[in-house]
């Protein structure tokens, strides 16, 4: 089943709200790597969203959406840098759509700019 961007965003917002109401999501969580300056602010939250999406069977759709957003951000809107686009391309080459790989996700998020993380976080 294919989802439009609008449908995926709605599903993510609804699921996020549901999990937040249950107390399963803590906003503003800062991970060790963020405190050490190894990852941009908000990267830990994005990693948690990705992990949850994979657990619900929607991880591949989320990652594909991120790939599209970064491509548009780098080539059209200017919200991302070309280095961000190159990082997502490297990620895509080793990406397994059937499982969440935390180390691989950390590698990606640590190579994205703060502007790109902010764009993904808001989009």
Q: Contact at 8 Å (CB) between 106 and 47?
A: yes
Report the helix count and the strand count for the chain, using DSSP H and E.
7, 0
Q: What is the pTM of this model?
A: 0.67
Which stretches in the chain have pLDDT values below 50? Answer: 32
pLDDT given at position 23: 63
Q: What number of CA atoms fall less than 13 Å from residue 2's CA on the CB side?
A: 1
Among 51, 40, 37, 39, which residue's Cα sits nearest to residue 102? Answer: 51
pLDDT at 84: 92
pLDDT score recorded for residue 32: 47
Note the pLDDT tens digit of each residue in 73-88.
999 998 899 999 999 9
């Amino acid at each position: 089943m294919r989802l439009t961007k609008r449908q995926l965003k709605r599903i993510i917002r609804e699921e996020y709200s549901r999990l937040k109401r249950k107390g399963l999501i803590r906003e503003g969580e800062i991970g060790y790597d963020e405190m050490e300056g190894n990852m941009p602010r908000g990267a830990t939250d994005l990693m948690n969203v990705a992990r949850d999406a994979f657990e619900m069977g929607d991880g591949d759709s989320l990652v594909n959406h991120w790939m599209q957003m970064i491509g548009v951000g780098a080539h059209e809107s200017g919200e991302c840098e070309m280095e961000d686009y190159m990082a997502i391309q490297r990620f895509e080459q080793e990406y397994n759509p059937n499982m969440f790989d935390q180390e691989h996700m950390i590698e990606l998020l640590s190579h994205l700019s703060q502007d790109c993380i902010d764009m993904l976080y808001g989009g």
